[in-house]
Amino acid sequence: MEDDSGGDSGGDSGESDTESNAGTLVVHGTKTNGGDTDGEDGGGGDALSRLEAADARARSVTVARPFIISKTITLREYQHAGLNWLVSLHERRLNGILADEMGLGKTIQTISLLAYLACYRGIWGPHLIVVPTSCIVNWETELKKWCPAFKVLTYYGSKKQRADLRVGWTKPNAFHVCVTSYVHSTGL
């Protein structure tokens, strides 16, 4: 039962996944008032169970292969699992670091996430990818190979060449993905 003061009566509110009433937020059936739980007995156990439930939901996210990814290319099982994880982070508005050994497909998983956002969320960009200078050509090549539907702007070159690239880039849909290097993103 819930009172209008935003306090927790200790029971399940029975409300939908996310609702806000008088300062009380109900998240997946668990009521919180946004306050600090320090000093409350048993508060950590409830927080842990909510965290474990959120983790289980995140691990259960499975998405279809984005249809704009080239038909001739397949994601490996672990790459699709990485895509699922990235989507679960995006859906929960969390940050994450995709890290493993070289050559296992972090680039492809990232491109697949961008394709997922375009296909299923209507978010075509613009997206900014900042990489070491030695990786710019690889990213451009992989984007064009894996997802030819994306308009890719490779922001690299002399000061004059970069000025030419900036002409018209504020127009809607001028590009979907901009790939640049650390050096060029800092203005050096």
Q: What pLDDT score was predicted for residue 16? A: 37
Strand order in the sheet with 152-155: 127-131, 177-181, 152-155
**Chain segment 129-185, per-residue pLDDT in tens:** 999 999 899 999 999 999 999 999 999 888 888 888 888 888 888 899 999 988 776
Rounded to the nearest 5°, which phi and psi values hold at 75? -80, 135
DSSP secondary-structure letter at 93? T
Q: What pLDDT score was predicted for residue 44? A: 65
**Chain segment 74-88, per-residue pLDDT in tens:** 889 989 989 999 998
User: What tokens were used for 93?
Assistant: 């508005």
Helix H or strand E segment including 164: helix 159-166
**C-alpha distance from residue 166 to each of 146, 170, 188 (Å):** 25, 8, 16
What is 77-185's CATH topology?
Rossmann fold (3.40.50)
Distance CA(46)–CA(164), nearest Å, equals: 57
Distance CA(91)–CA(22), nearest Å, equals: 26
Residue ranges per structural domain of the chain? 18-59, 77-185
Decide if pLDDT at 70 tops 70.
Answer: yes
138-176 exposure pattern, b = at least 16 Cβ within 10 A, e = fewer? ebbebbeebbeebebbbbbeeeeeeeebeeeeeeeeebb
More confidently predicted of 187 and 85: 85
**Chain segment 33-59, per-residue pLDDT in tens:** 444 444 444 556 788 888 888 778 777
Decide if pLDDT at 7 tops 60.
Answer: no
